[in-house]
Structure 1
Amino acid sequence: MKFNTNKQFAFQKIFILAVCTVVILPFLALLFRAIFGLDSDPSVWIHVTRNVIPNILSNTFSLALYTSLFSILMGTYSAWLVTLSDFKYKKILHICSILPLIYPLYVMSFIYVGLFEYSAPTMTFFRNEWGINLKQFIDIKSVTSISLIFSLCLHPYVYLLLKQAFEGQGDHLFKVSRSLGYTKVESFLKITLPLAKPWIFGSLAIILMETLADFGGVSVFNFDTFTTAIYESWTGMFSFITATKLSAILIFFALLVLGAEAKLTSKQKFFIKSKSGFVAPFELSQLFKSMALIWLLLLIVTTIFIPSYQLFSWCKDNLDLQSLLNNYPYFYNTVRLAFITALVTTIVTTLLASSSRFLKSVNWERLTKLTTLGYAIPGSIIAVAVFGLFTKIKISLGDFINQNSFLYFILVVGLMTRFLSISYKNIFSSFKRISPNLDKAAALLAKPSVIIFKIHIPLIKSGIISGFLMVLIEVMKEMPMTLMLRPFGKDTLSVKIYEFTSEGDWERAAIPALLIVLAGFISIVIMTVVEKIGSKTK
């Protein structure tokens, strides 16, 4: 691999290499330690290989499989109804299909566990009043139930990507296939769906990554997976080496998913056209209208009514001035951490995207994209990786660094590594809208730094704000890394939710959960307004 090594744009090259080092080196150190590190108590790893790994392998893969299947089916059906049918309430369905994004997996999980566990008021009412034991029909902690609940939160990723794919195809290919004798169903199955494969595989990769990375949700269900085993190895068995070895195995599976997605879509080129003149080809019969309406009502009940009602009903008995004051420090810590991380991440990604644009080199662009692989790695693994590397560096430098400041620093670095991809995609896509001719003209009159601050940033400010808000939301919801790396006295809302749900105290967990959901909802509204303003100014 050859890089352009002339002295022009030296800062940009050094910056890309520096960010690459910060992001990649912890994982290389983790893999090295997992392979060559010596455990002070080898019996721990022997116990894990014999008794833990077979169980977590089965649980992790069954959960990933069922969640992917349910999410694809739910997201595809909603996208089909909204884009390709004449369903009367498609605007309401669109809103109901994206609102679940405001709920973290662990919040949706403890809501349903609190609603359907054996001692829950719902289950008790059916037993006492009607003599019906719903436990025989609804096992809320089975892998099928967990997958369905996860799918309620994750299917919007499938919906949004497939909606974009279906709209981008237009209706001309559909009309051509109909003229060749295909029925509408055959046209959809043989033309529309195959053309949407990149979006399907992309959404499937997101679902798999989110499922593999989840810690809070499976912890609520006491369902052991790799992420819970990593946390337990570190904090319960006090074996950091065992945690690194389990992390290395999970990294392998995560990269396998990424590689499979890239392989399946690498040789396929799909070009989308505008939506102008698009006419929904499917006219629903009365039966299908009824099915669509039932699906809409199910979404409203399961993703909006039940979660909202349950959270507010738990909160109303505990929501007073004192409880708000008790949760204020955790809310402040959450917002502070999210703001600092989002700000650092946005600055880094803006400089990365602009550096890649200035260098105009395929190799430098590949190196830049390498820094965004952190989103494919579960948060618990990133926590183990950055802690292992930076602790070694801290020991070699001496003890003059305050432990709390050190933990806060590596926590921000870890969160930046995890969510760099989200911000980068927003900002990089905004850069794509700027004509290269503008750069050529500006280069005659100004230095790169002036071009970035005076020309690029004003033109891509909507993408910067969107990227900032998306990282802000994700950091506020993030649990495993914050739980494992937080400094003493810096508990966040997600940490308190974990502590309360671990004890089955759903009522006390409801207030911090409601604060996270409301903050996410407000951020999404702001992001939507910013995007609309940005589209009007283009």
Structure 2
Amino acid sequence: MLAVAALIVLPVAAVLGSWLEWNEQTAGILREMVATVLPGYAFTSLILCVAVGIGVAVVGTLAAAAVTLFDFPGRRFFEWALLLPLAMPAYVVAYAYTDFLQFSGPMQGWLRSTFGLEGRVFPEVRNTAGAAVVFVFTLYPYVYLLARAALAERAAHLMEAARLLGAPLATRVLRVAIPLARPAVAAGVALALMETLADFGVASYFGIQTFTTGIYKAWLAMDNRVAAAQLATTLLAVVVVLLAMEHRAQRRMRFSAARGARAGSAEAQPALLSGHRAVTSIALCTLPILAGFVLPVLFMLRPLAADWSVLPWDRFLQWAWNSVRLGALSATLAVAVAVLLASSLRRGSDAITRGVVRLAGLGYAIPGAVIVVGLLLPVGWLQSVAPQVPAVYWVTGTVLGVVWAYLVRFMSVALQSVQSGYSRIPASFDDSARMLGTGRLALLTRVHWPLLRGSAAAAALLVFVDVMKELPATLLLRPFNTDTLAVVAYQLARDERLGEAALPSLALVLVGLLPVLLLSRSVRRA
């Protein structure tokens, strides 16, 4: 248990411990950062977060309200199809739109040749506004899922009561339904903002100076681990604030759900729409799917259809094998540790076990760049004390470092799924097994595990897909000659070889569809 705690705590503790190296040189670096790059990083990140927060709140809430409160043609299809952008890594969407809409891309080329235009037809895609659009249409499902659940639980019968009191449709939606979903929308926005701050692929490719790209540059370009750690500390503080907002919103959601359950559970059907209202609802639901999934996939299929010989088929299998190998290893270890933690928490909820479980839940909120800095800082300290110990090789030259970063980052994903499985196992099963003389190990292997296999499989799938798409930690810690699909897609796009980047990018999308299909199945059941 203590080993798991050390595994999770070390990156964060190392980043915070960087402030213990305070001296004149460190103070000078910090003053230089405040005078030069730090305000720019903060301003760009703030503008991006504000734009993404407003965008995902509007798109996700409108989509959730449309499919939950109203009945129109295609509603059942849109209920699950609105989840499809979850399968798209944001940096893949950025590559797809850049390839299609840039000055030398097919769209502007066709417009110039058809209408006799000259120069740039569309504004530059790679800027802060373009990044905000990419994030909005790939991250709105966080808000959509939570807002849809909140509206489905409480809004329908209250809107019916408002209708009986004579309230028009617009009033019922804006003053009855949407306020009920505010805690859910706030939680979804907080999750989307954490993903935005953790992003490296989109910001780096678009040339946007955010905190994450600043950490990367400070460590590798400026060769200054203190500056990187201090930037990571600032980013970590912002993430902690967002995490607290998300937890508070979740508590408000549970409180509202309890009040809604006591208020009544009268059956109320969604309002039937026709004419222009139905067309408007269909358009509202179609736009996010087109912008976040359909169009990027079509843009990436274009190079495949145009010239198959350009694509790196000979190296694709090696990249795919590296990704699958790292994903399978990380998923297996994450599920094993999650089962041990969850079983320990079930046996006895002591302070140490509860603390370790809480720490494991923080990892998913920590950006990959912060985790990398937190892993490499202790290595630098160890080398300064004991130069003969090849610690750097242990972390950066083997699979150990990258799998360690994956476990810190995605342990909470596995733990949540396994704990969900445990919540469905009655405590009476444990009591009966103990009365029959079953020990702890036998209780886990012969009673719990057969009932947990479905949840464990779901946890392994989620961790596997997240590892396949992870970019910053893989980019910095991967072993030599072990490029993954995510790393190769980023490198090819950075070198402006967007046609070749289509193949690994599409492979990541196909893998990402697996958990989305699993989630959409549960949505249809609900």
Same fold, TM-score > 0.5, yes or no: yes
How many residues matched? 519
Residue 305 of structure 2: aligned partner: 316
Classify the secondary structure of the residue corresponding to 1:270: helix
Distance 1:360 1:437 in 2: 17
Q: Which position in structure 2 is the counterpart of 1:433?
A: 424
Query: Match for 1:98 among 83, 96, 117?
Result: 83
Distance 2:66 2:328 in 1: 38
Q: Distance in 1 between matches of 2:423 and 2:487?
A: 38
SS of 2:83's equivalent in the other structure is helix
Return the alpha-carbon distance in structure 1 between the equivalents of residues 352 and 176 of structure 2. Answer: 36
TM-score (norm 1): 0.88
Contact 1:230 1:380 in 2 (8 A): yes
Residue 314 to residue 43, structure 1, CA distance change in 2 (3 Å): farther
SS for the counterpart of 1:18 is helix
Q: Which ranges in structure 1 are unaligned for 5 or more consecutive residues?
A: 1-14
Q: How far does the alpha carbon of each residue in 1:444-493 deviate from its partner, in whole angstroms, 9 at most, with x for none?
A: 23112211111112112111111110110011000001001111111111
Q: Partners of 2:388 and 2:361 in 1: how far apart? A: 31
Aligned match of 1:415 in 401, 406, 412?
406
Q: 1:361 to 1:400 in 2, by over 3 A?
A: closer
Question: Shift in Å at residue 251 of structure 1?
Answer: 0.4
By how many angstroms is 1:170 displaced? 6.3
Structure 1 residues 367 and 300: alpha-carbon distance in aligned structure 2, compared to 1, 3 A threshold: closer
Q: 1:343 aligns with which of 314, 332, 335?
A: 332
SS at match of 2:256: coil
Task: Give the corresponding residue for 2:318.
Answer: 329
| Greater alpha carbon shift after TM alignment, 331-340 vs 129-138 | 129-138
Distance 1:39 1:243 in 2: 17
Residue in structure 1 matched with residue 45 of structure 2 by the alignment: 60
Question: 1:110·1:501 contact (CA, 8 Å) conserved in 2?
Answer: yes
Which amino acid counterpart does residue 421 of structure 1 have in structure 2?
A: S
Greater Cα shift, 275-284 or 25-34: 275-284
1:359 aligns with 2:348: yes
The answer to whether the Cα contact below 8 Å between 1:162 and 1:196 also exists between their aligned partners in 2 is yes
Amino acid at match of 1:451: L
> Letter of the aligned partner of 1:449 in structure 2?
L
Match of 1:76 among 55, 61, 71: 61
Amino acid across the alignment from 1:507: G
Task: Look up the match of 1:450.
Answer: 442
Greater mean alpha carbon deviation, residues 415-424 or residues 263-272: 263-272
**Residue pairs, 1:121-520, within 5 angstroms:** 121-132=106-117, 135=120, 138-169=123-154, 171-266=156-251, 269-271=255-257, 278-320=267-309, 323-361=312-350, 364-393=353-382, 396=386, 398-399=388-389, 403=393, 407-445=398-436, 446-520=438-512
- Any conservation in 2 of the 1:101–1:154 contact (CA below 8 Å)? yes
Mapped to 1, the partners of 2:321 and 2:109 lie a distance apart of 38
> Aligned partner of 2:418: which letter?
I
SS of 1:238 mapped into structure 2: coil
Q: CA deviation at 1:23?
A: 0.7
Cα deviation digits, residues 138-163 of structure 1 (max 9, x gap): 44234333212211111111111222
Q: Which moved more, 1:377-386 or 1:138-147?
A: 138-147
TM-aligned CA distance change 1:200 to 1:528, over 3 Å: closer
Q: For 1:477 and 1:520, how far apart are their aligned partners in 2? A: 8
Deviation at 1:355, TM superposition (A): 0.8
Return the match for 1:521 from 503, 513, 518.
513
User: Distance in 2 between the 1:298 and 1:180 partners?
Assistant: 34
User: For the Cα contact (< 8 Å) 1:404–1:488, is it kept in 2?
Assistant: no
Moved over 6 A (4+): 39-43, 274-277, 526-529
Decide which moves more: 252-261 or 139-148.
139-148
Structure 2 distance, partners of 1:349, 1:368, is 9
Counterpart Cα distance in 1 of 2:361 and 2:516: 23
C-alpha displacement at 1:374, in angstroms? 1.0
Cα drift, residue 116 of structure 1:
1.5
**Aligned-pair CA distance for 1:243:** 0.7
CA distance in structure 2 between the aligned counterparts of 1:30 and 1:40, rounded to whole angstroms = 18
Q: How well do the aligned residues superpose, as a CA RMSD in angstroms?
A: 3.0
| Shift, 1:506, TM fit | 0.5
User: In the superposition, relative to structure 1, how do residues 332 and 276 fare at CA in structure 2: closer, same or farther (>3 Å)?
Assistant: farther
- Distance in 2, Cα, partners of 1:467 & 1:231: 30
